[in-house]
């Protein structure tokens, strides 16, 4: 949980800096790129998490991968490297996007499902989330077959897990505790 708090703090600091420099759109574009790149590459994620790989090597790799990024994004990478928190880069990027969307009065509802959402179901979810938050919301559908069925809805810091894998996990825990 402390990683989450640290991610939020870094994201808030970067957002404040981006707002001051009138660069929120450019930094958000970079953060979306960072998030997409890290989520697509398990090797990159493993490199960032590895305590064995030297910080300088991580910095060089990230500088090459995200060449042409805004100076604020490059500064974030440098600060995370210096503070030995570079493993939080994807979390910070995600939190930044959420905070920036909230600042704009928009929200992103991330719906994780085992199969892609139908257009009809997406409309229903969009309507419910808009009523719940009172903000203009866009739906982002992530596919994760490991949840078996159901869905996981995340809007800002709120998370609702109605996945089959979560329910099976809860049942297993109950059975284990009752033995």
**How many residues does the structure list for the chain?**
179
- Burial class of residue 141 in the structure, from the number of CB atoms within 10 Å of its CB (0-12 exposed, 13-18 middle, 19+ buried): middle
- Domain boundary, last residue among 101, 131, 155: 101
pLDDT, tens digit (0-9, with 9 covering 90-100), for 94-142: 889 888 888 887 777 888 998 999 989 989 988 888 888 777 888 888 8
Q: Judge whether residue 178 has pLDDT over 80.
A: yes
Q: Tell me: do 91 and 112 sit in the same domain.
A: no
Computed over every residue of the chain, the mean pLDDT equals 89
- Domain boundary, last residue among 50, 68, 101: 101
- Burial class of residue 73 in the structure, from the number of CB atoms within 10 Å of its CB (0-12 exposed, 13-18 middle, 19+ buried): buried
Residue 109 CA to residue 98 CA, distance in Å, equals 9
Q: Tell me: do 132 and 89 sit in the same domain.
A: no
Count how many domains the chain has: 2
Q: Tell me: do 161 and 129 sit in the same domain.
A: yes
Q: CATH code at 124?
A: 3.40.30
Q: Tell me: do 89 and 169 sit in the same domain.
A: no
Whether 50 and 86 have beta carbons less than 8 Å apart is answered as no
- Report the candidate in 75, 101, 67 with the shortest Cα–Cα distance to residue 17: 75
pLDDT, tens digit (0-9, with 9 covering 90-100), for 6-51: 999 999 999 999 999 999 999 999 999 998 899 888 899 999 999 9
Q: Tell me: do 9 and 34 sit in the same domain.
A: yes
Q: Tell me: do 97 and 118 sit in the same domain.
A: no
Q: Judge whether residue 1 has pLDDT over 60.
A: no
pTM for the model stands at: 0.67
Backbone torsion region of residue 105, taken as left when φ is above 0, otherwise alpha when ψ lies between -120 and 50, otherwise beta: left
Reading the block at residue 146, the tokens are: 């490991």
Residue 155 domain boundaries = 105-178
Q: Judge whether residue 82 has pLDDT over 50.
A: yes
pLDDT, tens digit (0-9, with 9 covering 90-100), for 65-74: 999 999 999 9
Q: Judge whether residue 2 has pLDDT over 70.
A: no
Q: What is the pLDDT of residue 3?
A: 66
Phi/psi at 142 (5° precision): -105, 140
Q: CATH code at 19?
A: 1.10.520.20
Helix (H) or strand (E) holding 77: helix 71-82
Q: Tell me: do 170 and 132 sit in the same domain.
A: yes
């Amino acid at each position: 949980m402390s990683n989450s708090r640290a991610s939020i703090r870094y994201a808030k600091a970067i957002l404040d800096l981006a707002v001051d420099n009138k660069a929120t759109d450019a930094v958000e574009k970079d953060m979306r790129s960072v998030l997409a790149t890290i989520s697509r590459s398990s090797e990159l994620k493993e490199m960032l998490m590895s305590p064995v790989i030297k910080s300088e090597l991580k910095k060089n790799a990230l500088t090459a991968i995200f060449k042409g990024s805004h100076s604020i994004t490059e500064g974030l990478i440098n600060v995370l490297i210096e503070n030995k928190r570079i493993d939080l880069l994807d979390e910070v990027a995600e939190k930044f996007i959420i905070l920036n969307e909230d600042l704009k009065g928009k929200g992103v509802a991330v719906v994780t499902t085992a199969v892609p959402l139908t257009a009809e179901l997406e409309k229903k979810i969009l309507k419910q989330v808009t009523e719940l938050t009172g903000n203009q919301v866009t739906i982002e559908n992530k596919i994760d077959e490991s949840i078996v069925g159901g869905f996981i809805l995340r809007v800002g810091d709120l998370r609702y897990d109605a996945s089959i894998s979560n329910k099976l996990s809860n049942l297993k825990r109950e059975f284990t505790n009752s033995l």
